[in-house]
Amino acid sequence: MKRIYAIITGDLVNSRSHDVKIWLPILENSLKEYSNNFDIFRGDSFQAEVELAKSFEILFYIKAKIKSISELDVRLGLGFGGIENLDKHIKNSTGEAFINSGEAFDELKKELMRMQSPWPKWDIPINLMLQLSAELANKWTENMAESVAATLENPLANQQELAAILHRKYQSQVSTELNKASFMKIKKVIEYCTHELLKQC
């Protein structure tokens, strides 16, 4: 059985409205959090190899980090499959995972998140869940996005600790922001999609 890889292809929405010095370090650090092999190219485009078990989580993590900057958002294509050549510069690599990631990204129209795998029937329900979850995430304010990102970065932290990390005066602010962000619903989708993916692999 061939090894399955996860590749993310993305770009920023509305990046020209901000100085590159504002968003580039945040994008770089977001990718470093989940990937040891990524490239940022053509200004605000990027590609990264990520761990299978974290591949759905990173979609929402990158979105949260980018949406914590006013007026910015991100388009993300996630692809699964084999890899023929994994170059140290990931944009020069080849294989099914890269084709699927690129095609998922190219299929993005009004939606901002899509995936493609070697199992077309499996893609249909997973993409439906992803797109509905992305619709919820599209409504995040900067504060909601910050709370989601901090929660994903610190999965063992309680809300008091998260409030300290986020410099919120009251821990109830974090709870309110996560509720408004529909974080628990999105987390369930991440867990379900991850579980189903690992069963396929």
CA-based nearest residue to 137, from 190, 71, 186 = 186
Give CA–CA dist 136/119, Å, rounded: 26
- pLDDT at 166 (0 to 100): 96
CA-based nearest residue to 150, from 194, 172, 183, 101 = 183
The H-or-E segment that residue 135 falls in is helix 120-138
CA-based nearest residue to 93, from 197, 6, 194 = 6
- pLDDT at 70 (0 to 100): 94
State the CB neighbour count (10 A cutoff) for residue 197.
Answer: 22
Pair 110, 75: CB distance under 8 Å: no
Q: Tell me the domains of the chain and their CATH numbers.
A: 5-200 (3.30.70.270)
Q: Helix (H, G, I), strand (E, B), or coil: what is residue 82?
A: coil
Two structure tokens written together for 135: 């619709």
Give CA–CA dist 26/24, Å, rounded: 5
- Residue 115, exposed/middle/buried by CB under 10 A (0-12, 13-18, 19+)? buried
Pair 117, 200: CB distance under 8 Å: yes
Residue carrying structure tokens 């997973």? 126
Residue 18 binned pLDDT confidence (cut-offs 50, 70, 90):
very high
pLDDT by residue (tens digit) across 67-81?
Answer: 999 999 999 999 999
Residue 116 binned pLDDT confidence (cut-offs 50, 70, 90):
very high
